[in-house]
Amino acid sequence: MEWIGIQEEQMAEREESGKLGWFVAGAVLGGAVALLYAPKSGKETREFINRKKDEGKEVLSETGKEVFDKGREIYDKGKQIADDAADLFERGRRLVRG
């Protein structure tokens, strides 16, 4: 039963990362469209691009940290499950050998 819960959790995490990818793609596309239709001077447009670039870096950095932390959490859970399974196997082996 626990295995099913783990699979559901992994599917939910994949779905979240997919949403993040679409969000980033939408933000980039929206920025590109805004630049094409913006009635600003070259200097104002460059300043706008630099500001948005810095904001994007910050968002990606924060998101990367979140993804890393979530990956670490999943790794730790998987390791614990593997350790528990190894302990159960060893106990069963001792019982069989008597």
Q: Side chain identity at 89, as an amino acid letter?
A: F
Helix (H) or strand (E) holding 55: helix 42-97
How do residues 40-92 score in pLDDT, each as one tens digit?
Answer: 777 887 888 788 888 888 888 888 888 888 889 999 999 999 999 999 999 98
Give the range of the structural domain holding residue 67, as residue numbers without chain letter.
2-97
Q: How confident is the model at residue 2 (pLDDT cuts 50, 70, 90)?
A: low
Domain count, the chain: 1
How do residues 9-29 score in pLDDT, each as one tens digit?
Answer: 666 666 666 677 778 888 888
